[in-house]
Structure 1
Amino acid sequence: MSANDEVYIVLTATGTWFSRTIQWVTKAPLNHASLSFDRELNEVYSFGRKKLSNPIFAGFVQENFADPFYEDAPCAVYRLRVGESARAEMRRFVNEMKRQPDRYRYHLLGLIGVLIRRKIPRENAYFCSHFVASALERGEWRPVDKPAYFITPADFEQSLSAQQIYRGTMSGYLARFNSTYPAAVYGSSFSPATA
């Protein structure tokens, strides 16, 4: 296997009021999911706030985990060896969104649907874990035995525990690949697979 066979799922908690609200409802410590096409997390996608200062304006985003906003954010990173053709299908799914990002909305009602266990359809709308699960499904890869619109970050955390390569702060993870990144890595752990 090579980097062309892999994708990464990143779970985070940013400590914003919205993040804390989701955490309070779900009781899950990590409540945001993202999909990355590289282990350095240079190319990471999700559904969330389009501007860090404005949680209301949300939709399809390319995330920048090097931003100081994420520095102390707790995170877990999972490496999935999905195969080249599956990864290519996932990338096609994401590239469709990259071409017309304004067509896609954050699906707040979908989150409520998860809580009440009822699908609330809305075209071109996703919440973070729904988006990640949908991208994986495009590659015919289903790590969680649920429809994509019911999958939560906690579901990924539970089902992918064997694929976890890191748990700690985001700055600790990024420091692993960038020696100039100013980060402490206290309380973090890497899997021997990344050494």
Structure 2
Amino acid sequence: MRLKSYVYILLTDTGTLFTKSIKKYTKAPYNHASISFDAELTELYSFGRKNPNNPINGGFVKEDIFTGTYSKYPETTCVIYKLEVSKRDIEKMKRVLNIFKKNQKKFLYNLIGVLGVSLNEPVEFSNSYFCSQFVAEVLHRSGIKLWDKLPALITPDDFRQNEQLVFVYEGKLFDYGHLRKT
């Protein structure tokens, strides 16, 4: 009997000024995407704030719900989805992630790419991603095709609308029952 493997997609809204601005334009309930390899969200990755106190300095981050940016925003709302994948898919995704981990100082937040999405024009720079582009890129490079468009055009709401993802939880992030401090 094969045990099922899953990757988890966390979409969040912290309620910050930046996220409120994005929401005004997108009309979508969530504006940040992260990827995790466990239901407890202990191994959680994205492109976002490198320092919880500095919204300007962004890039590749291993997010920590209890000590990172989310700890500053206890009212954060979220939705969590899971995607069934093979063990081999997980290995491929972790290999892709290792490239990001080894070179994390070289990666920047692709703010111009966020504007490109609004114009339906992909704006891609070497070593530069926004959150949903990064999550889509990890999946794409691992051979998982969820859309017929480039990762540079994927929004957090594209994950929410994707029928291949299975709903797990929606509500306040800190009320999610699987969270545990590591």
**Fold match, TM over 0.5?**
yes
RMSD after superposition: 1.6
Q: Which structure 1 residue ranges, 5 or more long, are not aligned?
A: 181-195
Q: Which has the higher mean CA deviation after the structures are superposed, 148-157 or 66-75?
A: 66-75
Is this contact kept in 2: 1:32–1:153, CA < 8 A?
A: yes
Task: List gaps (5 residues or longer) in structure 2.
Answer: none
Q: Which one of 82, 85, 91 corresponds to residue 85 of structure 2?
A: 82
User: How far apart are residue 144 of structure 1 and its match?
Assistant: 2.6
SS of structure 1 residue aligned to 2:49: strand
Q: Which amino acid aligns with 1:33?
A: A
Question: Residue 72 in 1 paired to residue 75 in 2?
Answer: yes
Q: Distance in 1 between matches of 2:162 and 2:7?
A: 16
How far the C-alpha of 1:70 sits from its partner, in A, is: 4.2
- Post-superposition offset of 1:138: 1.7
8 Å CA contact retained: 2:146, 2:164: no
Deviating more after overlay: 157-166 vs 10-19: 157-166
**Length, aligned pairs only:** 177
SS class of match (1:131): helix
Equivalent-residue separation in structure 1 for 2:130 and 2:101 (angstroms): 16
Q: Indicate how the Cα distance of structure 1 residues 99 and 162 shifts in structure 2: closer, same or farther if over 3 A, else same.
A: closer
Match of 1:131 among 123, 130, 134: 134
Deviation at 1:114, TM superposition (A): 0.5
Supply the distance in 2 between the matched residues of 1:103 and 1:25 (Cα, whole angstroms): 30
Map residues 1-195 of structure 1 onto 2, 5 A cutoff: 1-2=2-3, 5-67=5-67, 68-160=71-163, 163-173=166-176, 175-178=177-180
Structure with more of its chain in helix, by fraction: 1
Q: Distance in 1 between matches of 2:127 and 2:179?
A: 35
Deviation at 1:176, TM superposition (A): 3.4
Q: Could you list the structure 1 runs, at least 4 aligned residues long, displaced by more than 3 angstroms after superposition.
A: 175-178
The alpha carbon displacement at 1:177 in A equals 4.5
Q: Taking CA–CA contacts closer than 8 Å with sequence separation of 6 or more, which of the two structures ends up with the larger relative contact order?
A: 2
Q: Is the 8 A contact 1:80 1:163 kept in 2?
A: yes
Q: Identity of counterpart residues, as a percentage?
A: 41
Letter in 2 for 1:126: Y
Name the amino acid aligned to 1:105: L
